[in-house]
Each structure stands twice: as C-alpha cells, then as structure tokens.
Amino acid sequence: MKKLKTILSSKYIFKILSLVILICDIIYLQNYHFISKYQPSDNTFIGTIDNYQVTDTELTIEVNAKEKLIVKYNFENNSLNKLSLGDKIIIEGKLTVPESLNIPNTFNYQKYLQYQKIYYIVEATSIRKIKNNRNFLFTIKNIIYQRITSLKSKDYLEVFLLGQNNLSRDISNAYRKIGASHLFSISGMHISILTSLIFFYLNKVTYNKKLKYLIADIILVFYLLLINTPSLLRSTIMFLLISINKISKLKITKVDIVLLTLALSIIINPFIIYQIGFIYSYLISSFLFLFQNKFSKKKKLIKIIFPIFLSFLVSFPITIYQNYEINFISLLINFLFLPLVSTIIFPLSLLTLLFPYLDSFLFHLLSVVEKVALFCSNITVITFIFSKPHFFLIIFYYFLLVITLKHPKYFYLIFIFIFLYYFSPNLNNKINITVFDVGEADSSLITFPFNQGNILIDTGKSSYIMENGIIPYLKSKGIRKINYLIISHGDLDHIGGASYLVDNFPVEKIILNDGENTDLELSLIDLSKEKKIKYYQSVSSFSLNKHKLYILHTQNYDNENDNSNVIYFKYFNYKFLFMGDASLIKEKDILEKYNIKDIDFLKVGHHGSSSSSSKEFIDAMKPKYSIISVGRNNSYGHPKDSVLDILSQSNIYRTDLDGSIEIKLNKKKCQIRTYLQNKGG
C-alpha cells in the first residue's frame, strides 16, 4: 500500500497519466475506422472555406462541410480569385477516393488525408459563393493574405506567418534533401524567436513577471487559433506549461513538461502522433529542452555547435524512416541556415508584413538561399542511403542517445550504431523479387542476398511512378545501385521511367532488346553515353556475382513485343521466367528451342492479354505461381478470362487486385506478401 501511495505521489502522477494517455491513443488509432458522412453518389456539398490555393488553371480548396473535403476545380478565368477564407460555398461535383501508390514504403496519400479526417476529394464542376465570411479569425487571415498577395516573397511569408507551404516542388525537395525543411515551417524555433521579441518589448513596459507571461500566453493562444498546425500546437502547449511553472509553485520537472506536452497534444488531436511535422518538432524541442544545460558551461563555440549537432542526431532516425537517406552536408547547412533564418529571415518576414517596402530585400536574400539549397542538394557525394528502420530499432536508438547525453564519454556508441545499421542490408540472406504495381505497365526488381546485386526489369511508363514509388522503395531496402537495368522492349509502359531512373539513381549497366530501337530506346542510349553507363543489345546471358541469368533469344521479329527480352534464371531449386510482352508466336519458338519446364514463378506475358499465355506454353511451363502486372479498370479488359482459365492450375497474383507483390525466399522457405494500400480505380 505504501508503494502504491509513492507511485501515485506528485512525483510520478504526470508520468503515469501521460503514459496511459499515449497507450490509449495508440489502441484507439489501431482500431479507428473512418466512416464518411457522405455517400459515394452525393454530388452537392455546402461548406466554408478553411484554406485554398490558386494556380494558373486549378483551384484547390479545403472545405469544412459535414466533414472536411478537398475540392479540385479547373477553371478558365480568374473570377474565383474573389473567394475568401470563411466564405460559405456550394459545390457541384463527383466524390473520389484519394489515390496512393500500392508500392511498399511509399507515401500513402489516402492515410495522410484520413489522419486529418479527410476521406474524399471532390472533382468540382461548379463552385458558387452563397455567403461572405463573418468569422473574426478568418477576417484576420484574409487581411494578411491581401497584404502579402502582391509581394514577391509571398510564398515564404505564407510559410512563416500562416504555416502554409506553397513553395515549388523543386525548392521543397532541395530543403528536404539538405535537412533544412524544418527551418521553413512554423516550428519551436520560430515560436522561441517570437516569444523573445514579445519579452524584449514587454521588458521595456513592465517588470511584472506574471503579467509578461500572461500576455505572451494570450498572444500565442490567439496565434494558435489563427494558424493551427501540429508544430505550433506543440510549441504553444510547451510554452504554456513552462509559463505555469515559472509563475507558480508547482515545480513541474522538465521531464513532466515534455510528457504533459505530448499528452495534451494527443487529447486535442489524437491523430497528431502520425503527423511528421509534430514528431520532428516534439522530439527535437524535447531533447533540446531536457539537455540544454548539459553544455551550458562549456566554451562558446561548443554552446553554439551543440544544439545543431543534437538536432541532427535527434532527427536522424525519423529522417531515414521517412526519406531513407540523409545528406551529411545538412550539418554544415544548418550551421549556415539556422542563424540566417532565426536572426534575419524570420524577423525580416515579420517586419515585411508591417513594412512591405522591405519585400525586395527579403526576396533577393531568399533567392540566394534557394540557390545555395539547390546547389547543395545536388551534392550527392556525402548522401547516404539507409534502409527503413524498424520501430523498435528507433526506440533503441533514442534510448542509446539519452545514455550518451547523460554520459558523454560513451558518445562514440551512437556512431558505431549508425555505422553498423548502414551496412545491415548486407545481412539479408534471402532473394527478393518484387513485382511493382505500376498500373497497365511493367516493372520488377530482383535483389540477391547479402548485397550480391540488384536487377531492375523495366521501369513502368512514367517518371512519376519512378520518383514517388520505385526509387523510394529501392532506398527503403538499403539498395544503393542497380547493377543491371533490363528493358524488355522499347514500348512506353516498359521504358517510360528509365531516363528518370538513370538521371536520379546509380545504374551500372543497361541491357536492351533485339531489333530496331524505338525513339525511347534511342533517348536512353544517348543518356547512357552522357552518363558513361555501359549498354548492351543481343545479350544471351549475363552473370551477377555467382548468379547467371539467361535471355531467351529465338529470332528477330517485325514487332517490338515479340522482340521482348524473356529472362530465365534459377535460384537454388526455384525457377523464374519473365515474359515481357512476348506473344504466342515467341512462346512457340521458345518451346522449340529451349528445354524449359516446371517454372515456379511465371511473370505472365503482356499483362494477361489473349495474345500471350497459350495453353500449350502454360501446360509445358506448369507454373506454381503466375504473376500478372495489370492496371485497375484498364481499357483493354486485361487480364482476359481465357488467360485466367489457362492459368487456373497455378496460384494467380494480380497487381490490380493485390498491389505490389513481394517474394522472399531462401533454400528452405518461400514467403509471398502483397501490398494493396487502397482500392481506388
């Protein structure tokens, strides 16, 4: 009983309470199923504008209706620029479910929106205002919008003042690659600057400590109501708790402040623990808050370096969990950008709101920053790819970091851990074959165990799939180069993403098919020459370490499909056959020329078209598993029922129904896993 009283004492109560709230939130989110208030057939929606963005031809609005909706509207004139935040509008249009790539370890847009309680996107056919804004907070935001809308630094002012990132894709990616994206969003650093400015002026007016904290608290709460972002919520709650601690006798410990900040954030928004901005902000600010006194008595240079270095170490596992790579130039960049943003750019942004004539100077300064960011983001020499870490490995990392911060003599353990983890993909003892869900197209990856080599067969039809799907997947598996890029043939759905891959990821060698080159193949050849990448045609076999793969040549045909590279190889007792778009004619020639049968894994030809997969060929191959790369609701009607009947004696996997298909096997065991993140069209 005495022990129970001790546990329930004020020393432990906040810790227990915070832990209980966190556990309850995790259980709640694991069992949460979002149920929309709309029916898929609904076509009229009434709500108020929470946010909007206008480009040359498209208007995107976040509407607060029965539930939050994202509205997309294409228009030909600028009449809709007259819309304001808080206006009530009526929308006519069609509800669509947000799409996500069904490729593992890629960004799931559908879940991202659901964590914000957004289930549908409206493809609008008409939008009409029915009531003007009368909300005070929206009025303030509209005034800020109107004040900055004509300024050249508008995009950055929206970032720093309104928490809305409308920066261009290239610039946003550049900041992300160099680890500086947190500086260009409302975060704890910006709130610290803002509160410092508030106290600077309040110190000239009053010595009353309680009054100063009270005024600062009111200003921050008002700002939070105006600009509700996860990072700002975290910063405001933490500042309020610190304020209470400063002006009361509660004597809340730093650890309790950190835990209570998390607990209160969860109570306000249970989904906040899934939002990457909050995670970054919370972890970095918490570590800095808890360990800021650790080096306070050190030399001035160390006091300057320590927060930047600690921020890098704290953000490291989250960065590689999210992006699968880290550019170590980010350490140097933060030494430059952190003081620049905190002491010049952010305060100057606040002043530009009041004095617009400063815009020109701010714009030129930001232009220089952008050029530096773009230049540094292209320095890939010190960019390292890390495989996606397991959740428990991240927990262990932070446990190790806390120990090393308390006992700096063990700091080297962190670097040993990072070093060992970097090489951990070399310990994988299984061959991985992944057939990517790339729609009505083809792309497959073969990864041999113990980092013995990687082969990519085809690239899908677009650079979008390559940039947002396949390349992130490669990085998430710790793959740092493609040894062989094999293009089965030169049609768009097989080679369309090749140039983007070669431009943005290390490729050692390229193998093209026989026959006359298509325009896309010629472009890839020119690029490979420019990049000094070896390319080959008319290859009958090639080796990768101890593994030999065969390309089944029969003859030159007068069409690109039959000239497809058909790839065969064995691994232990498993046999694999990738058919490309080879037709019935080439299948017959393969049967006549090669003694191949009893295939374990057949990558079915031509997306399940009736022009491939003859009964004679399938009866000879007798595949145990048949894998079809095919697009959802495709206009060709693939895969054909006749082909499915022929393949019915095998286990059939389809990317349209199963998403990406991942096969892992060694001598003793075979595992097949599918990845269907959404069931959109």
Q: Taking a C-beta distance cutoff of 8 angstroms, is the pair 307, 296 a contact?
A: no
428-466: string of b/e by CB count within 10 Å (b at 16+)? Answer: bebbbbbbbbbbbbbbbbbbbbebebbbbbbbbbbbebb
Cα-Cα-Cα-Cα dihedral sign, residues 19, 21, 27, 33: negative
627: β partners: 603, 653
Q: What is the pLDDT of residues 363-389, one digit of tens each?
A: 999 999 999 988 888 877 778 999 999
- Please give the Cα distance from 345 to 373 (Å, whole number): 15
Angle, helices 10-30/254-268, rounded to nearest 10 degrees: 30
The pLDDT score that the predictor gives to residue 4 is: 44
| CA-based torsion, 89, 95, 101, 106: positive or negative | positive
Q: What is the DSSP string of 193-262?
A: HHHHHHHHHHTTT---HHHHHHHHHHHHHHHHHHS--HHHHHHHHHHHHHHHHHHSS----HHHHHHHHH
Contacting residues for 552 by C-beta, under 8 A, at least 6 apart: 566, 567, 568, 590, 593, 594, 596
pLDDT at 7: 47
Q: Which fold has domain 44-133?
A: OB fold (Dihydrolipoamide Acetyltransferase, E2P) (2.40.50)
Q: What is the pLDDT of residues 424-467, one digit of tens each?
A: 999 999 999 999 999 999 999 999 999 899 999 999 999 989 99
Task: From the options 3.60.15.10, 3.40.50.300, 1.10.10.60, 1.20.1250.20, give the CATH code of 426-675.
Answer: 3.60.15.10
Question: Exposure of 289 by Cβ count < 10 A (0-12 exposed, 13-18 middle, 19+ buried)?
Answer: middle
Cβ atoms of 460 and 439 within 8 Å: the answer is yes
Using CA atoms, how far apart are residues 236 and 163, in angstroms rounded to an integer? Answer: 14
Burial of 586-606, coded b for 16+ CB within 10 Å and e otherwise, reads: bbebbbeeeebeebbbbbbbb
Is the Cβ–Cβ distance between 100 and 675 less than 8 Å? no
Predicted pLDDT at 251: 78
Contact 244, 252 (CB under 8 A): yes
Cis peptide upstream of residue 639 (ω within 30 degrees of 0): yes
Q: How much is the pLDDT for 678?
A: 62
Q: What is the pLDDT of residue 13?
A: 82
- Domain ranges across the chain: 44-133, 160-388, 393-422, 426-675
Place of tokens 């004139």: 77
Closest residue by Cα to residue 653 from 101, 102, 30: 102
Nearest to 590 by CA among 623, 564, 558, 626: 564
- State the pLDDT at residue 204: 83
Q: Tell me the CA distances in angstroms from 419 to 319, 385, 386, 387, one per residue in order.
A: 16, 12, 10, 12
Residue 473: helix, strand or coil by DSSP?
A: helix
Pairing of strands 431-435, 383-385: unpaired
Q: Which residues contact 396 (CB under 8 A, 6 or more apart)?
A: none
**pLDDT averaged per 10 residues, the chain (length 681):** 50 83 90 87 94 81 94 70 87 90 90 88 92 91 89 90 83 83 77 84 84 90 88 91 84 88 93 88 89 69 78 91 87 82 88 92 93 84 89 94 90 92 92 96 96 95 92 96 96 95 95 92 95 92 92 90 95 94 95 94 96 95 96 93 96 96 91 79 38
Q: How far apart are CA 344 and CA 243, in angstroms?
A: 27
> Distance between CA 402 and CA 195 in Å, rounded?
28
Per-residue pLDDT at 298: 62
pLDDT score at 43 = 93
Give the position of tokens 């009893």: 598
Structure confidence at residue 499 (pLDDT) = 95
pLDDT of the residue at 657:
94
In the chain, what are the helix, strand and coil shares in percent, each to the nearest 5?
Answer: 50, 20, 30
